[in-house]
Chain A
Amino acid sequence: MASISLSNVHKFYPNGYAAVRDVSLDIKDGEFMILLGPSGCGKSTTLRMIAGLETISKGDLHIGGARMNDIDPADRDVAIVFQNYALYPHMTVIDNLSFGLRLRGVGRAVIDQRVANIADMLGIGELLSRKPAQLSGGQRQRVALGRALVREPKAFLLDEPLSNLDAKLRSAMRTELIKLHRTLGTTIVHVTHDQVEAMTMGERICIMKDGVIVQVGAPMEVYRNPVNTFVAGFLASPPMNLLRSRLSAQSLSLGDTVLALPPALGQAFAAHAEREVIAGMRPEDFHLKADAAASTAPVKVHAVTTEVLGPEVILVATVSGEQGAEIHIRCPRDFRAKPGEIVIFHYDVSQLQLFDPETTYALKRPVQI
């Protein structure tokens, strides 16, 4: 078990491409850290630098307090699940799982015990004598995960370890990983694209974009207070609606709707009055009924289409008087609307976020209102 600390880490690939720039991140001992970001933003590169498979071009990496830049991967004592699995093609599943333990001189009995446990947990007990070529993608992924989990390293580095599993298995594996983290308490860095994994598994989320860290924080904190429009538009599905609007003292104009701001918000944003802003409104903050306690304000929208998901319905609509920009609204499961139909929603103004259209960063708002 160990903390992992990256300070001002850069990665320049041989072709000159700067895949990771000035990344500083302190992962605490025993923490479950999520790396989240769009494809190509440098998540795998970061993970591979921690594992020692890519050299660190600039900056320092410490694991458990010791500088690791020049330490061989074998001596860093981390286990990694590769995005492309990287199973040993000539070994059976059981040999794939036990290879690392055998290399480290663990006794036969202990190996058998641990392999059996992990195989059971991942549901690959029947596949033990097969070679990787005889497995499906999801089965290979579970073997890859198992190969990392049988070891008892200082840290687990998981590069999208559940990406290829079906929804049911994925949710089961999610639970298993959380339980495992609870019992072992090992530091975990988990790379994912999956919103649910990001929100439910980690103690903190680190959001990356174009090789730099944009925001680090607890899931709900990042969800409530995205630092900029990128995070706001990336986290959760459907993500926060981002609409150009005009801020006046104590009110916000969206198309032909004027939202009165609660006094606390009005005061907080007073410095930015009379200018263009980007309004961030979560799809779940629109309600069909007004709620006096929650300071809601009516918003008139034109329905474009509905996505019936089962437990809920997502309404895609445009705000009246506001051309082009579509917003998503989370509605109860029995909600229906015809295209073009006008619907009045009650938006919970206390949840409003505002962003600077030039810098894309959030305007400061009170922490609690």
Chain B
Amino acid sequence: MTLAADDRRLNDLPRAEQTAVERRDRMFGWLIASPSLGLLFLVILFPVFWALYTSVHDYTLIAPNFDTFNGIDNYTKALGDPEFRHTLWLTAFFVAAVVLLEFALGFLVALMLNSVERFKAIYYAILLCPLLMNPVIVGLIWRMFLHPSLGIVNYLLSLVGIDPVNWLGSTKVALWTIVMVDIWHQVSFMIVLLLAGLSALPREPYEAARVDGASALRSFWHITVPLMLPVIAVTLLIRLIFAVKTYDLVYIMTRGGPGVATDLVSYFIYRTAFVGLNIGEASAMSAILLAVIMGLTVWLHRYMRSLT
């Protein structure tokens, strides 16, 4: 019998066969977890259920009551709304771009930092700076930097003879600008997590691989990547979920514009709720978003599991 099978057997033991010690451990576990469970219920589960309840009612800020039950009307309306569908696709694109680029860049920098021996702390401190900033501040700073005529970015480009770019005002460029600023802000998160993973890797398998005849690239592919998969999975997941929620940057820098070029779904839901005052439909959209994120999470988790 394998070890894993042994573990499973312990957990599947019927209650009567558990020892007193096991029962006491279990009770104690519940006891120390209960305050945080209570808090979680209050600040997370309750709002989620409230939103789900709202999403099946005709609840607006003009008539804020649950008098009219309208079933899945809010959902069909939301899904039938081309603007909502546009924001969903736009968000999907944004998330994919941000997560993949940040991951690639982050892994590269983490690998480099992992082999650095001197001044590691200094690099670390510099890298962490953006992460410590509030997204609103980041948005404001970059809006200034990227100002078409007064911003430093266009000035610097002019020095090397490049024409000014309308960073936030052009429908073609604006989304990529947001992507770029988000990378600037969040890539350190990837670096820090991946670096922690890398420095926790055992040294011995690399030595074995060197003697076995592996080049640096092969060691990376056959040892680093497989050993890092759990860390990679978690990093991608967290970043993915956070990227879907991106709201502050858009709000500060473009308000979803120009036109609907940067109208990410969180910002659109916010507008539906507090500009359109339609809380019911906004709740339905949130529920759809929640379902999508949960689906993605489960899929990514399973996929990574299947690799290891």
Q: Is the CB of B213 within 8 A of A86?
A: no
Complex contact B205–A86 (CB within 8 A): yes
Instruction: Please tell me if the beta carbons of B209 and A79 are within 8 angstroms of each other in the complex.
Output: no
B interface footprint on A130-142 (CB within 8 Å = 1, 0 otherwise): 1001100000000
Q: Given A86-B205, A89-B227 in contact, is the A103-B212 Cβ separation under 8 Å?
A: yes
Interface residues of B in 202-235 (CB under 8 A from A): 202, 204-205, 207-215, 218, 222-223, 226-227
A82 contacts B207, CB within 8 Å? yes
Chosen A-B contacts, 28 in total, with CB atoms closer than 8 Å, are A51-B211, A53-B210, A53-B211, A73-B207, A73-B210, A74-B210, A74-B211, A74-B213, A74-B214, A82-B204, A82-B207, A86-B204, A86-B208, A87-B205, A87-B208, A88-B208, A88-B209, A89-B205, A90-B226, A99-B212, A99-B222, A100-B211, A103-B213, A103-B218, A130-B2, A134-B3, A134-B4, A147-B208
Beyond A100-B213, A103-B214, is A82–B2 a contact (Cβ under 8 Å)? no
Contacts of A33 in B (CB 8 A): none
Chain A contacts for B213, CB-based, 8 A = 74, 100, 103-104
Residue count of chain B within 8 Å CB distance of chain A: 21
Please report which residues of chain A, range 59-83, place their CB below 8 angstroms from some CB of chain B when the two chains form the complex: 72-74, 76, 78-80, 82
With A99-B222, A103-B212 known to touch, is A86 a contact of B227 (CB < 8 Å)?
A: no
Contacting pair B210 A88 (CB below 8 A): no
Interface: B308 (CB within 8 A): yes
Provide the bound-state CA to CA distance between A152 and B222, in Å. 22
Smallest CB separation, B1 vs chain A (Å) = 10
Q: How far is the CB of B232 from chain A (nearest CB, A)?
A: 13
Contact residues of B: prevailing secondary structure: helix
Question: How far apart are the CA atoms of A268 and B204 in the complex, in Å?
Answer: 53
CB of A84 closer than 8 Å to a CB of B: yes
Distance in angstroms between the alpha carbons of A79 and B212 in the assembled complex: 7
By beta carbon, the residue of chain A nearest B218 is A103
Measured in the bound complex, the distance between the Cα atoms of B189 and A62 in whole Å is 47
**Which of B211, B214, B227 contacts A80 (CB under 8 A)?**
B211
Q: Check A219 for interface membership: any CB of B closer than 8 A.
A: no
Tell me the residues in window 123-182 of chain A with beta carbons closer than 8 Å to chain B beta carbons.
130, 133-134, 147, 151
Are the C-beta atoms of A72 and B210 separated by less than 8 Å? Answer: yes
Do residues A52 and B210 form an inter-chain contact, with CB atoms below 8 A? yes
- Residue in chain B with minimal CB distance to A48: B207
Q: Check B308–A90 contact: CB distance below 8 A.
A: yes
Bound state CA distance, A288 and B126, in angstroms? 80
- Chain A residue numbers with a CB within 8 Å of B226 are 90
19 more A-B residue pairs beyond the given contacts A73-B211, A87-B205, with a C-beta to C-beta distance below 8 A: A52-B210, A53-B210, A53-B211, A74-B212, A74-B213, A79-B211, A80-B208, A82-B204, A85-B204, A86-B204, A86-B208, A88-B205, A89-B205, A90-B223, A90-B308, A99-B222, A103-B212, A103-B218, A104-B213
